[in-house]
Structure 1
Amino acid sequence: MVQKKKRNVIVGQSGGPTAAINSSLAGVYRTAIDRGYQKVYGMIHGVQGLMEGRYVDLSDHIQSGLDIELLKRTPSAYLGSCRYKLPEIFESKEIYEKIFEILVKLEIDCFIYIGGNDSMDTIKKLSDYAIITGSDIRFVGCPKTIDNDLALTDHTPGYGSAAKYIGTSVKEIIRDSWSLETTSGQVIIVEVMGRNAGWLTGATALAKGEDCDGPDAIYLPELPFDMDAFIKKIKSLLKNKASVVVAVSEGIRTKDGKYVSELGNSIEYVDAFGHKQLTGTARYLCEVVSQECGCKTRAIELSTLQRAASHCASRVDILEAYEVGGAAMKAADEGDSGKMVVIERLSDDPYQAGTEVKDVHKIANDERTVPRDWINKDGTYVTNEFITYVRPLIQGDVGPIMVDGIPRHLYRPGFQDLL
């Protein structure tokens, strides 16, 4: 039997950026080249850009081992990202015909998409269309999301670095809060990303240690938020502490399902996937605390800073992201399609993990939340089980390559003009 000659690979990035997403891109690129593919194309702004004919030959931009190392240390999406929702196949067959026409023109054998829940929906639909039309292009998903909410995988690349940054930042916020004495007390509310899953907010507990008490309370979106109980908790804390630091998820909701951020914000933005933009939770809660407790308040939104803080990246996270990218390319090369690479934890101490592939149909449009027994009884903190889970993921550092005192990132003149 004559083995079919390997042709080309295309890779894209989708969803929110992270400190580790480009390490996965580096893993895909390196593995594709090592396995004998002729070209590795990069979609500019994901599948949305691909439909506009926007892509580059990555070999024109990654030309040395140093470029690979720089790429692994470069935050955010090097290729540019998107939040584009493919319609169902029966709704708009023309879009799929257009995408596959481009893939055929570029002689693509393997399509790798790096992203989270919505990105896996794209892999699911494209692989289904390939089956319907008899295309032999393989479609494989590579997990990425700081939200850590993908099903069937122990955790997602990007989460460990975000958790490390959040734990570090909250510890510094707590240290800062000690510096000034106040007569009436002060309450600092830190807002962390997380719409329906509290993995990031729970990571604020990492600030707790021999030299720090950690946040005084943590509120996750997995449980209904009770405003009366919250104010009661704050008043109780202020009786014994001059400064109180509380962490809240941006997605906490009242018992009737209304986002707390909506209570003080009538402006709504909804993306292509129907997700409301959530912001202002901490700000609103500070207003309520100020009125109810008569103390100084401060709202801090970590906002986009927590997504791509490569100066505080976890070595475990960066290495796993690279390995997962390579595993996605390996799976596609060996014939898998309609699959996503997952991380399987083998042990906590010492921490060991491996990769395998799972059916993307069992992952896309699902959401993994923090288990109820990893949250304390009254819903105001995470348990030791949560800490045991997350601590291995933040270990080690990846020092940035510094130039004139500032981290150097991979950049090519002219390439960024395409973004």
Structure 2
Amino acid sequence: MKDIKGNCLVAQSGGPSSVINSSAYGVIKEFLSLDSPFKAFVGLYGIKGILDRKIVNIEEFSKDSIEALRYMPSSALGSCRYKLANYEDNDEDYIRLIEIFKELDIRYFFYIGGNDSMDAAYKISKYAEILGYDIKVIGVPKTIDNDLVETDHCPGFGSAAKYVSNVGLEMWFDINTYEKDSIMIMEVMGRDAGWIAASTGILQKLVPNMNQLIYLPEVIFDRNKFLEDVHKSLRNNNKLLIVTSEGLKGKNGQYINIDDNCYETDAFGHKQLGGIGKYLQQIVKNNITSSVKLSEIGVIQRCAMHCISKTDLSEAEMVGRASVNYALEGYTGYMAALQRENHEEYNCITKLSKLEDVCNKVKCVPAHWINEYKNGVTEDMINYIKPLITGEVNTLGEDGLLRYKDVGLFR
């Protein structure tokens, strides 16, 4: 038996994904497999819920409920966007957290989330170290945006990429229905990194005659060049699919929208985006053709469980299980990252990345993975995304709907 020093606590934060619950499942199952007298707890609604003592012993739930967790879409444990202050400025939340950890004998804390969650995990690990409280804090990566550094990719991204690419393919067939000119604009998520939009470049490999333009936040958006791109594309083929990330920026570094300064911000100061598709639709209508439609994919791309990637689901569980083992080995202040092995056949393993090297940084689509015209992607991007969207998981029941079990945890 491994030397286990106390109980564990797992929580989720940030936006949901199709596989975030698979990571929670991995943590819980791995810890329970140790067959120790110690307990696994889940924190509901992230750090905010933990501070409010919304903490549940996993023993309260049946084995069937725990098994169902792996295939549940969205964040079963609940989430939050609660920003922990720097403990040098205000340590009130940290004092309260440590009190709760001591009360429940929490010696292992696993926080599943994206950039802001990794920042919270890092702060908690550092404060516990300063206080001398022995707790191992491990960040478990999750974000459909795929913008965490120090990991090849993020659990959640592969399934989101698979979903939007399939939607894009279906849209392409739709706009080819009629003989007349037809343009479809598809707006997807991506505030500062365009991984989701870029992933749809795989469609050009699948459908060689596809007429597609892709616009990413990594490239400064130029209105005149965009119109030139559309004009040129329509001369080659009067059907066109335009995929855009929501976070396009102009030369001034500001997000582009029909109305200036119309964005709200969240607790972390992040702009709540949406609207670039309408802007592109309008300038195409005003300057090129009125035959242009818009599809804003919206939040469904975050947790479309009916179109999940088997690779993504498996790797999400893998990082959850690996996080437990890293913590038991004595590591704290790290993230369980994914590392792609250099083999002919795709394979991914886990590695440790320091949280201080991960938080408050953004991994962008590499410049050499964007084509020379800045309106598409290269073969490198296609090769990168291909294995991440593969594999099928049958999540539908005989009635044609998602197999869903009300596990009750969960809120």
Structure 1-normalised TM-score?
A: 0.94
Q: List runs of 5+ in structure 1 lacking aligned partners.
A: none
- Aligned counterparts of 1:407 and 1:18: Cα–Cα separation in 2: 15
Alignment of 1:220-299 (within 5 A): 220-261=216-257, 263-264=258-259, 266-299=261-294
Cα 1:382/1:5, change in 2 over 3 Å? closer
Contact 2:176-2:182 within 8 A present in 1 as well = no
1:33 corresponds to: 32
Deviates more, 1:233-242 or 1:313-322: 233-242
Letter in 2 for 1:363: V
1:134 corresponds to: 132
TM-superposition CA deviations, 1:163-219 (whole Å, max 9, x none): 11111110001111111232xx23211111111111111011122345464451101
1:321 corresponds to: 316
1:197 corresponds to: 193
2:340 corresponds to: 345
- Aligned counterparts of 2:206 and 2:73: Cα–Cα separation in 1: 31
- Aligned counterparts of 1:239 and 1:328: Cα–Cα separation in 2: 53
2:68 corresponds to: 70
Structure 1 residue 334, shift from structure 2 partner: 1.6
Cα 1:380/1:4, change in 2 over 3 Å? closer
Structure 1 residue 106, shift from structure 2 partner: 1.0
Cα 1:173/1:401, change in 2 over 3 Å? closer
2:18 corresponds to: 19
1:303 corresponds to: 298
User: Percent identity of the aligned residues?
Assistant: 38
Matched, 1:407 2:406: no
1:354 corresponds to: 349
Contact 2:22-2:317 within 8 A present in 1 as well = yes
Contact 1:375-1:382 within 8 A present in 2 as well = yes
Contact 2:336-2:353 within 8 A present in 1 as well = yes
Structure 1 residue 74, shift from structure 2 partner: 1.1
Residue number among 363, 371, 391 corresponding to 2:358 in the alignment: 363
Contact 1:348-1:392 within 8 A present in 2 as well = no
Structure 1 residue 407, shift from structure 2 partner: 1.1
Q: List runs of 5+ in structure 2 lacking aligned partners.
A: none
1:181 corresponds to: 179
- Aligned counterparts of 2:197 and 2:123: Cα–Cα separation in 1: 32
Contact 2:244-2:277 within 8 A present in 1 as well = yes
- Aligned counterparts of 2:146 and 2:173: Cα–Cα separation in 1: 28
1:330 corresponds to: 325
Cα 1:211/1:233, change in 2 over 3 Å? closer
Which secondary structure state, in structure 2, belongs to the residue aligned with residue 24 of structure 1? Answer: helix
2:372 corresponds to: 377
- Aligned counterparts of 1:294 and 1:400: Cα–Cα separation in 2: 41
Cα 1:210/1:36, change in 2 over 3 Å? closer
Structure 1 residue 243, shift from structure 2 partner: 2.1
Letter in 2 for 1:17: P
Which secondary structure state, in structure 2, belongs to the residue aligned with residue 256 of structure 1? Answer: coil
Which secondary structure state, in structure 1, belongs to the residue aligned with residue 108 of structure 2? Answer: strand
Deviates more, 1:345-354 or 1:48-57: 345-354
Contact 1:316-1:394 within 8 A present in 2 as well = yes
TM-superposition CA deviations, 1:331-383 (whole Å, max 9, x none): 11221100101111103630011111121111111111111000011201000
Letter in 1 for 2:13: S
Matched, 1:114 2:108: no
- Aligned counterparts of 2:396 and 2:187: Cα–Cα separation in 1: 31
2:165 corresponds to: 167
- Aligned counterparts of 1:214 and 1:84: Cα–Cα separation in 2: 43
Which secondary structure state, in structure 2, belongs to the residue aligned with residue 188 of structure 1? Answer: strand
Cα 1:178/1:74, change in 2 over 3 Å? same
Letter in 2 for 1:48: K
Cα 1:150/1:215, change in 2 over 3 Å? farther
Structure 1 residue 72, shift from structure 2 partner: 1.6
Letter in 1 for 2:31: A
Contact 2:6-2:106 within 8 A present in 1 as well = yes
Structure 1 residue 410, shift from structure 2 partner: 3.5
TM-superposition CA deviations, 1:105-159 (whole Å, max 9, x none): 1110100000111000011100000111000011100011111111111111111
Structure 2-normalised TM-score?
A: 0.96
Contact 2:11-2:112 within 8 A present in 1 as well = yes
CA RMSD of aligned residues (A): 1.6
Which secondary structure state, in structure 2, belongs to the residue aligned with residue 27 of structure 1? Answer: helix
- Aligned counterparts of 1:348 and 1:202: Cα–Cα separation in 2: 24
Contact 1:31-1:329 within 8 A present in 2 as well = yes
Which secondary structure state, in structure 2, belongs to the residue aligned with residue 377 of structure 1? Answer: coil
